[in-house]
Amino acid sequence: MSTIVSTFFALFKRELKTAMRTRVYYLITVGVIGLLLALTAGGGGAATGYVPTVVDLLLPLEVLVPVLAIAIGYRSVVSDLERGELAVLKTYDVPSSVYVFAIYAGRAVVLSVILGSGLLATLLLVSFSSGPDTSIFATHTGLDSPLLFARFIVLTLVFALALLAIVLLMSVAAQSTLTAIALAVGAVVLVVVAGDAAIILGLTDGWIAEADLLNALAIAPNSAYRGAVFETVIAVTAASESGYGSPITSVAGLFAWTIFSLISATLILHRRTV
């Protein structure tokens, strides 16, 4: 195993161990499961099927996912910078890129487990409380299915991981834990709210042509997520309606945010630690 690979895994394992010994993550997990089950039960979608549940959860998740990404990621790098731990790691010749990607990978697992637990609990609730037709796995257009919900889970995780990368970038740029949380909130609000607002403005002002709308939706993380969910989950049960978004472009947009943020974080960290 090369030094870079072993260094990556040493840092990655340390992140996971740290998370496993942090009680607040367990409380967050319980809270997320409780909240998603309450929303599912309260929205009435659970009794109807998987896709109605997706409709119930989509908007709350557009708020919950950024909050979770901030909670899990805002201290990820700035704490090590404040503690002087990065200065120490530098004497072990740990490259900035390996450090950033390992920390991200560790936090990504934590976020995926927390969010995935909530969504899997929701899946189970729906499977126990909805009608018999929702247990059919061999899906085709027009039929509700747990596979559609699984697709929703995957898209939600891709969305969450893109936001986590943005939050990690802010954590690298911050001078202190307090500024890290302010920057993370600011950045997430900017990409979430300003992204949607820019697309609406672009359409009304005419600098985004109607024909380019589907691609434009992929630029902002929230609209990319929303478009992909509508197109690949919700629209499937309504065969005549589609064109809410371009799934491939939307997912590519979310990956682009992730990669751009991680590369930027690496460059900034390299500059900060010389």
Residues that bind other proteins (CB under 8 A): 3, 6-7, 10, 14, 17-18, 21-22, 83-85, 87-94, 273-274
CB of 93 to other proteins, least distance (A): 7
Residues near 176 by beta carbon (within 8 Å), at least 6 away in sequence: 78, 82
**Which residue, 90 or 255, is less far from other proteins as judged by CB?**
90
Q: How far is the CB of 18 from other proteins (least distance, A)?
A: 5
Q: Considering only CA atoms, which of 107, 111, 95 is closest in space to residue 266? A: 95
Task: Kindly tell me which of 1 and 211 has the beta carbon lying closer to other proteins.
Answer: 1
Phi and psi angles of residue 84, each rounded to the nearest 5 degrees, phi first:
80, 10
Task: Closer to other proteins by CB, 85 or 212: give it.
Answer: 85
**Closest distance between other proteins and the C-beta of residue 183, in Å?**
22
CB of 160 to other proteins, least distance (A): 24
Q: Which is nearer to other proteins, 44 or 83 (CB)?
A: 83
Q: Would you say 21 or 140 has its CB closer to other proteins?
A: 21
Q: How far is the CB of 169 from other proteins (least distance, A)?
A: 22
